[in-house]
């Protein structure tokens, strides 16, 4: 706790107080009965095109993203840019698939992916698998948002270790927990608007001002080691980093809208048209993410990791400190305060939505299904509020008592796990050809094989798939998903002919379209 | 089986998404420094450009299919 930048910290705290007030006030915004789960947990499905744009944008492009993706560019170079094709590929999926899911969920009052699978396939164990996968994949993601706050606090000199150093983070999280409890999804929706204005401002200023300081893009890229500027040419008999890049982009894109927080954001839209309009409007965030990724190269050119004032930050946070260091190095204190507030508040929005999404899953697909089927609407909403608190405290404890790299590794595994719900959820929107028990076994095989691949590759997401003498390094999530699909497809006729009783489907074709 | 993906829901405009997919899924297509734009290697500005192209194509599909069922 030395060399605290008081100007930056004051602006940071002021903006934080502002959005906290907003978060509590949000309970009265588009007022609804917060004792109903769809009011607390989906904002009453009342958000139009513009609010959905801010909410889903703030939800998907998280603080952790803004720290970690440029940090990857700083460390690994061109590979980090896979975030851009990733976020390009998500929008056709959003446009084609998810308006149908919105329609059917709206019709039946469903709040989670588990609800949909339960209704579609009539198998509560499959729904349970979907819910558990969602919750487990979300928890480390929440923890990583905290790392985002920690890193910017350290950038302002509020760092180090010990209770005093952790106190600001604890306060920030308690405030977050309180307004999420009282306002539900309305809180992150209202805060997202402020946060996104700040983050766009920061991104635009950074991408114009810093290259001017560094003497232009020519000089910046000249300072980057040649091997990092583009993807390395593959070695003989391998597709090398080219297949790594493409499969990371495609696998991440397929997984994204299966995450509970993404789905919660989508289902809170007021119409399926609002979702489709957003598929054309949300790429605004992708463009900004691409620009921010370039900041990793700016940090290389500025040589921030060699400056003595940032040594302790890099020692504690490694490459994740490169963006905060770059901002402190390049901007006056008052603008550092604004930029860091954008990132810090940027952590609260997805953390709130994630905890709400996990709470919705627990409430609907575990509590109501297995523990208290008689729960009233009010009890349901009360359980969800408490679970959202527990989830956040768990994430906080995780960060305070365990090393952050566990959260990084778990989040990586989370991506491998969540994609295994694709056959039931995303294909389920189009067909109920699959047998639900075959889907469940496919899910088990996908989780097991994906986890094995990740561990075999030393907890990295890239698995060196060998076919004959040829190597196709690629994203373990995508490879294990293929196994999952094959198993589900092969076992479906087996289970069907074994005479499993015909299952009920609560949905009819018209539910998906009107 | 009450599959819901009937042919009536199909629109040829959706093929624009295939174009978008092909523009970005094959990294050898754009894994190059040359030609740079204001000092930014091709690899980066091309992908940023595809973000904009993708948004434009999605908007076209939206307006072209607006009045039909999903």
What does the pLDDT profile of chain A (514 residues) look like in tens digits? 457 888 888 888 899 889 888 888 888 777 777 788 888 888 888 888 888 888 888 888 887 788 888 998 998 899 989 999 999 999 999 998 999 999 999 999 899 999 999 999 989 999 999 999 999 999 888 888 888 888 888 888 887 667 777 788 888 888 888 888 888 888 888 888 888 889 889 989 999 999 999 888 988 998 999 888 888 888 888 888 899 899 999 999 999 999 999 999 899 999 988 999 988 888 888 998 899 899 999 999 988 888 888 888 888 888 889 999 999 999 998 999 999 999 888 888 888 899 999 999 999 999 988 988 888 888 888 888 899 888 888 888 888 887 777 777 788 888 999 999 999 999 999 988 899 999 999 999 999 999 999 888 888 888 888 888 888 888 999 999 999 999 999 999 988 887 666 667 888 888 887 6
User: Which residues in chain A have their CB less than 8 angstroms from residue B26's CB?
Assistant: 246
pTM: 0.90
Domain that holds residue B60: 31-70
Alpha helices in A377-512 (DSSP H): 377-401, 404-418, 422, 436-456, 476-497
The verdict on A69 touching B (C-beta cutoff 8 Å) is no
Length of chain A: 514
Q: Do B55 and A283 touch (CB under 8 A)?
A: yes
Residue of B nearest to A282 (CA): B55
The radius of gyration of chain A from alpha carbons, rounded to an integer in Å, stands at 23
> By the CB < 8 Å criterion, does B35 face chain A?
no
What is the number of CB-based contacts under 8 A between chain A and chain B?
131
Closest in A96, A103, A242 to B28, CB measured: A242
CB within 8 Å: A272 and B70:
yes
The reply to whether residue A219 touches residue B39, judged by beta carbons under 8 angstroms, is: yes
3-state secondary structure of A462: strand
Quote the CA–CA distance of A37 and A356 in Å, as a whole number: 10
Q: How far is the alpha carbon of A247 from chain B, nearest alpha carbon, in Å?
A: 9
* Contact call for A85 and B47, based on CB within 8 A: yes
Torsion over CA: A234, A240, A241, A247 (sign): positive
Any chain A CB within 8 A of the CB of B33?
yes
Residue B29 contacts A where some CB pair is shorter than 8 Å = no
**Tokens of residue A235, six digits:** 């070695």
Among A355, A448, A356, A360, residue whose Cα is nearest residue A131: A360
* Angle (CA) A260 A261 A262, round 5°: 90
Query: CB–CB of B25 and A85 under 8 A?
Result: yes
Residue whose pair of structure tokens reads 């990092």 in the numeric block: A228
Q: What are the distances in angstroms from CA A354 to CA A60, A177, A251?
A: 10, 12, 21
- Say how many CA atoms lie within 13 Å of A436 toward its Cβ: 22
A246–B48 CB contact, under 8 Å: no
Show Cβ contacts of residue A400 under 8 Å, excluding neighbours closer than 6 positions: A166, A169, A170
Residues of A with Cβ-Cβ distance to B54 under 8 angstroms: 88, 91-92, 283
- Asked if the structure places residue B61 within a domain, the reply is yes
Q: How many domains in chain B?
A: 1
Q: For A417, what's the count of Cα atoms within 13 Å in the CB-facing half-sphere?
A: 22
- The DSSP call for residue A424 is I
Distance (Å) from the alpha carbon of A461 to chain B's nearest alpha carbon: 18
Q: Please classify residue B52 by burial: count the beta carbons closer than 10 Å to its beta carbon, then call 0-12 exposed, 13-18 middle and 19+ buried.
A: middle
CB of A85 within 8 Å of a chain B CB? The answer is yes
Q: Which of B1, B3, B4 to mutate to test the interface with A (most CBs of A within 10 A)?
A: B4
Flag whether B15 is in a domain.
no
Before B66, cis peptide (omega within 30)? no
Position B10 in a domain: no
- Using DSSP, state whether A475 is helix, strand or coil: strand
Burial of A447 (0-12, 13-18, 19+ CB in 10 A): buried
Helix (H, G, I), strand (E, B) or coil at A302: helix
The chain A residue lying nearest B66, using CA atoms, is A273
For residue A114, report the phi and psi dihedrals to the nearest 5 degrees: -60, -40
Determine, yes or no, domain membership for B12: no
Nearest to B14 among A96, A273, A291 (CB): A96
> Is residue B66 domain-resident?
yes
The third-level CATH classification (topology) of the domain covering A6-25+34-412 is Sodium/glucose cotransporter (1.20.1730)
């Amino acid at each position: 706790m030395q060399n605290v930048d008081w100007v930056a910290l004051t602006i940071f705290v002021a903006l934080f107080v502002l959005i906290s007030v907003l978060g509590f006030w949000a309970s009265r915004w588009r007022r609804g009965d917060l004792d109903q789960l769809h009011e607390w947990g989906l904002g009453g499905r009342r958000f139009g095109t513009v609010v959905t744009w801010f909410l889903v944008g703030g939800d998907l492009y998280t603080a952790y993203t803004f720290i970690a993706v440029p940090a990857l560019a700083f460390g690994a170079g061109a590979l980090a840019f896979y975030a851009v094709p990733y976020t390009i590929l998500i929008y056709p999926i959003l446009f084609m698939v998810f308006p149908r899911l919105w329609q059917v969920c709206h019709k039946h009052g469903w709040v989670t992916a588990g609800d949909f699978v339960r209704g579609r396939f009539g198998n509560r164990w499959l729904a349970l698998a979907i819910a558990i996968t969602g919750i487990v994949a979300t928890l480390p993601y929440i923890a990583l948002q905290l790392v985002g706050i920690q890193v910017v606090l350290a950038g302002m000199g509020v760092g180090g270790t010990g209770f005093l150093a952790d106190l600001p983070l604890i306060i920030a999280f308690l405030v977050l927990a309180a307004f999420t409890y009282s306002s539900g999804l309305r809180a992150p929706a209202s805060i997202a608007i402020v946060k996104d204005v700040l983050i766009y401002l920061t991104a635009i200023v950074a991408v114009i001002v810093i290259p001017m300081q560094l003497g232009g893009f020519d000089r910046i890229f000249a300072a980057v080691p040649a091997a990092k500027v583009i993807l390395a040419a593959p070695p003989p008999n391998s597709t090398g980093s080219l297949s790594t890049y493409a499969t990371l982009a495609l696998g991440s894109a397929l997984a994204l809208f299966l995450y509970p927080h993404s789905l919660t954001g989508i289902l809170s839209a007021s119409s399926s048209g609002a979702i489709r309009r957003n598929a054309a409007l949300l790429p605004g965030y992708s463009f900004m993410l691409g620009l921010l990724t370039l900041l990793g190269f700016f940090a290389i050119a500025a040589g921030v990791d060699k400056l003595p004032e940032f040594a302790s930050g890099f020692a504690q946070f490694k490459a994740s400190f490169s963006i905060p260091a770059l901002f402190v190095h390049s901007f006056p204190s008052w603008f550092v305060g604004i930029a860091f507030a954008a990132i810090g508040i940027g952590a609260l929005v997805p953390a709130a939505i994630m905890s709400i999404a996990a709470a919705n899953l627990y409430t609907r697909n575990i509590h109501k299904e297995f523990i208290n089927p008689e729960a009233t609407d009010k009890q349901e909403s009360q359980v969800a509020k408490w679970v959202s608190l527990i989830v956040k405290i768990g994430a906080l404890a995780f960060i305070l008592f365990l090393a952050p790299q566990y959260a990084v590794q778990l989040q990586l595994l989370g991506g491998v796990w969540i994609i295994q719900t694709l056959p039931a959820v995303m294909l389920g929107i189009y067909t109920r050809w699959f047998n639900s028990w075959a889907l469940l076994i496919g899910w088990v095989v996908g989780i097991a094989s994906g986890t094995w691949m990740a561990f075999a590759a030393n907890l990295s997401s890239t698995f060196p798939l060998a076919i004959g003498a040829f190597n196709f390094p690629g994203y373990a999530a995508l490879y294990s998903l293929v196994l999952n699909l094959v198993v589900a497809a092969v076992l479906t006729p087996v289970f069907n002919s074994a005479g499993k009783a015909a299952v009920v489907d609560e949905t009819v074709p018209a539910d998906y379209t009107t | 089986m009450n599959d819901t993906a009937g042919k009536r829901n199909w629109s040829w405009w959706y093929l624009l998404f295939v174009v978008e997919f092909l523009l970005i899924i094959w990294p050898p297509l754009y894994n190059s420094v040359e030609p740079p734009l204001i000092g930014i290697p091709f690899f980066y500005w091309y992908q940023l450009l595809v973000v904009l192209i993708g948004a434009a194509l999605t908007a076209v599909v939206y307006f072209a299919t607006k009045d039909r069922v999903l």
